[in-house]
Amino acid sequence: MATSWSMTLSPVTLENADADARPVLEEARHRLGFIPNMYADMANAPGLLSTYLHGYRWFREHSGFTPTEQEVIFLTISRFHACAYCMGAHSMIATNKSGVPQGVLAALREDRPLPDTRLEILSRFTRRMLERRGRVAEEDVRPFLETGYGQRQILEIVLAIAVKTLSNYSNHLFHTELDRVFAPFAWQERSEQPA
């Protein structure tokens, strides 16, 4: 496989941000206490970062999924896209903030079936949405709905896919370095891991 191309744009900081990027970065710093490397890269296109932050916040606050379920969705998407940055960041959030059981997190990181049936159905459906680009079949949807999720939550998964695609693709283009706070949760695709 060929080495992927990398963006050469410099990270945007509060010191060099233009009038469009500055308020978005200030909001990020206010909410998180720092500006993640991913945000500094995405701020090169302020609309990209703004769209990401708005959709991410909306999903977190209004999706109807628990914090654990949200992480299952985000990690399933990031694993599907092989985004090392988001896998590391969401693994930290899963462990320290969202209460994801370690066995579930390990399975998500290793692309194995989840030890929790409900979460496995959620992850499998999310992956099917990605694989089929939203053209899911009755047999894909039935287990999701029978588990107690609703049709609106299918649309919330579409939102999560949109948000994570923005971040996953941006991280691929920039080869974004994992922030120190996420470093203990660094992840590599199995095929890339040393023997």
pLDDT band at residue 193 using 50, 70 and 90 as cut-offs: very low
Q: Which of 170, 134, 156 is nearest to 50 (CA)?
A: 170
pTM: 0.94
What are the residues whose beta carbons fall under 8 Å from the beta carbon of 95, sequence distance 6 or more?
Answer: 102, 105, 185
Given a contact cutoff of 8 angstroms between Cβ atoms, the answer to whether 58 and 159 are in contact is yes
Residue-wise pLDDT tens digits, 37-75: 999 999 999 999 999 999 999 999 999 999 999 999 999
Q: State the chain's mean pLDDT as an integer.
A: 94
Extents of the domains making up the chain: 21-188
The mean pLDDT of 191-195, rounded to a whole number, is 44
The CATH number of the structural domain formed by 21-188 is 1.20.1290.10
Share of the chain above pLDDT 70, in %: 96
Residue 1: the pLDDT is 54
- CA distances to 10, 12, 80 from 6, rounded to whole Å, are 12, 16, 20
